[in-house]
Amino acid sequence: MKIGLVCPYSFEAPGGVQAHILDLSQQLISKGHSVSILAPGSFEDAPEWFVSVGEAVPVRFNGSVARLSFGPHIGVRTRAWLEDGHFDVVHIHEPGSPSVGLHALMNAEVPIVATFHAALDRSLLRKATSGLVQPFFERISARIAVSEEARRTLMEHHDVDAVVIPNGIFCRPFVTAQASPQWGGSAEAPTVVFLGRLDEPRKGLEVLAGAIGDVVDHIPGVRFLIAGRGEAQALAAVRDQYPQAIELLGEISDAEKATLLSSADVYVAPHTGGESFGIVLVEAMAAGAAVVASDIPAFSAVLNDGRLGRLFRTADSSHLAQVLVDELRNPNEERTRLAQEESWRYDWSTVAEQILAVYQVATRTTEPVETGTLWERLSGRQRGHL
């Protein structure tokens, strides 16, 4: 099968959608399919199947910054890519974004599969533009949402449904990663890991900063290992007060991430919102780290309402400190083991097969596929779940 994957966001600034598309392309190619990715920007070590549509500009949206491409030249380059590709199916991610995906949606003459990643409460911009993109959405043969939160957003803003297929990870590198003595802990000196953009408020570093003092007071030897891009201004005051408790690791590689998570006693995700899934929670689960996360809907879903990890009240530093202290003093090894087992349901070997099943259904008809038919085709399980 010849598959065209379209990403609205630039690969110059890595993000969850970009990683999802790149990993999916590799998995599809390993299964014998021909794949081409069209996206703005470029990146070091880009695979030969990556095609850049041109430069991107930063746009602030949903508590983050997205790098998108605009202008008539984007349409010209997109049409050329579609004509040259002779695709059996075009898979567009976030087709409503004002970028290359919308051009692909307007111009593709083959079955279109769309994946929706975003989770929004209320967006005036999304609401204002939904009427403009709605006619083009009717060209979509089959719709996928990466989570129930993404599905809810799609239904609220566009009044259409989607089958839920989660983001994927390659579990094995995390399961087999060896703990590092440098980052490992002990009962008296456990390690707590945070991963994410340090200067992006919705990642919750300020919430974690507010909890560190209370945790150190109860467990003096605890170390907080903070990894990610950006300036950690939220930690400035607490680092001055507890310099021995906080280590800034900066940006780390994928291999280092697997080692870091494997070494951690607890992975903490204090995000305040704007998340549709929680891929790093699954990575931590696969690595065997206990997970403590805010109770935003996306994280509650991944952790099965606390069955696979601990939840604390979103943006409540005091409650986060209580949960961290309790988890570090009383680790639940059975819960962590169960979480690692459950992480395999998100492995790309499973997720890619589900996406391929959607492609197969979409390419067998000239009409949009009813979402109920997709659910039946994928698993036959209860509506809305895998």
pLDDT in tens, 234-252: 999 999 999 999 999 999 9
214 and 190 share one domain: yes
Does position 80 have pLDDT exceeding 80, yes or no?
yes
**141 and 12 in a common domain:** yes
The confidence band for 70, taking pLDDT boundaries of 50, 70 and 90, is: low
d(CA 300, CA 117): 17
Q: How far apart are the first and last CA of the chain?
A: 24
8 Å CB contact between 93 and 144: no
Report yes or no: 254 and 289 within 8 Å, Cβ to Cβ. Answer: no
CA dist 326 and 128 (Å) reads 46
Tell me what the pLDDT averaged over the chain comes to.
Answer: 89
Question: What's the pLDDT score for residue 371?
Answer: 66
Whether residues 188 and 83 share a domain: the answer is: no
Alpha carbon of 381 to those of 195, 206, 218, 374: distances in Å?
Answer: 34, 40, 46, 11
Give per-residue pLDDT as tens, 314-329.
Answer: 999 999 999 999 999 9
Dig out the tokens for 150 from the structure. 């993404």
Q: For the chain, what's the residue count? A: 386
**pLDDT attached to residue 73:** 80
CB neighbourhood size of 12 (10 A): 16
Q: Domain for residue 195, yes or no? A: yes
Q: Which of 12-16, 115-119, 132-136, 298-302 has the lowest average pLDDT?
A: 132-136
315 and 230 in a common domain = yes
**pLDDT value, residue 385:** 38
Domain extent, residue 139, equals 2-168+347-378
The answer as to whether 386 is a domain residue is: no
8 and 150 share one domain: yes
Do 211 and 98 lie in a common domain? Answer: no
CB-neighbour burial class of residue 227 (10 A; exposed 0-12, middle 13-18, buried 19+): buried
Q: What is the mean pLDDT of residues 115-138?
A: 68
Say yes or no: 114 and 192 in one domain.
Answer: no
pLDDT at site 381: 39
Q: In this structure, what CATH number is given to the domain that contains residue 31?
A: 3.40.50.2000
Residue 311 has pLDDT above 80, yes or no: yes
Asked whether residue 5 carries a pLDDT value surpassing 90, the answer given is yes
Say which residues have a Cβ less than 8 Å from residue 366's Cβ, sequence separation at least 6: none
pLDDT in tens, 162-199: 999 999 999 999 999 999 999 999 999 999 999 999 99
Inform me whether the pLDDT recorded for 373 exceeds 70. Answer: no
Of 94-103, 260-269, 310-319, which gets the smallest average pLDDT? 94-103
C-alpha distances out from residue 52 to 38, 39, 225, 380, Å: 6, 5, 36, 39
pLDDT of residue 176: 97
Residues 158 and 145 in one domain: yes
Q: What is the mean pLDDT of residues 295-306?
A: 96
Q: Is residue 105 part of a domain?
A: yes
Percentage of the chain exceeding pLDDT 70: 87
| Residue (of 210, 197, 15, 202) closest to 121 by Cα position | 202
Tell whether 385 is covered by a domain.
no
383 lies in a domain? Answer: no
Residues 171 and 352: their CA atoms lie apart, in Å, by: 13
Average the pLDDT over each of 31-40, 169-178, 321-330, 377-386 and give the range with the smallest value: 377-386
Q: How confident is the model at residue 10 (pLDDT cuts 50, 70, 90)?
A: confident
Q: How confident is the model at residue 383 (pLDDT cuts 50, 70, 90)?
A: very low
Domain-located, residue 30: yes
pTM equals 0.85
382 — pLDDT class (breaks 50, 70, 90): very low
Q: Return the minimum-mean-pLDDT range out of 143-152, 231-240, 371-380.
A: 371-380
Ranges 12-21, 66-75, 350-359, most confident: 350-359
- Total domains in the chain come to 2
Pair 225, 357 in one domain = no
Residues 265 and 326 in one domain: yes
Residue 250 vs residue 365, higher pLDDT: 250
179 and 74 part of one domain = no
Residue 217 has pLDDT above 90, yes or no: yes
Q: pLDDT (tens digit, 9 = 90+) per residue, 97-123?
A: 878 888 899 999 999 999 999 887 555
Residue 163 in domain: yes
> Considering the domain boundaries, does residue 384 fall inside one?
no
Kindly state whether residues 364 and 323 are assigned to the same domain. Answer: no
pLDDT band of 372, cuts 50, 70, 90: low
Q: What is the mean pLDDT of residues 18-22?
A: 94
User: From CA 168, how far away is CA 151, in angstroms rounded?
Assistant: 17
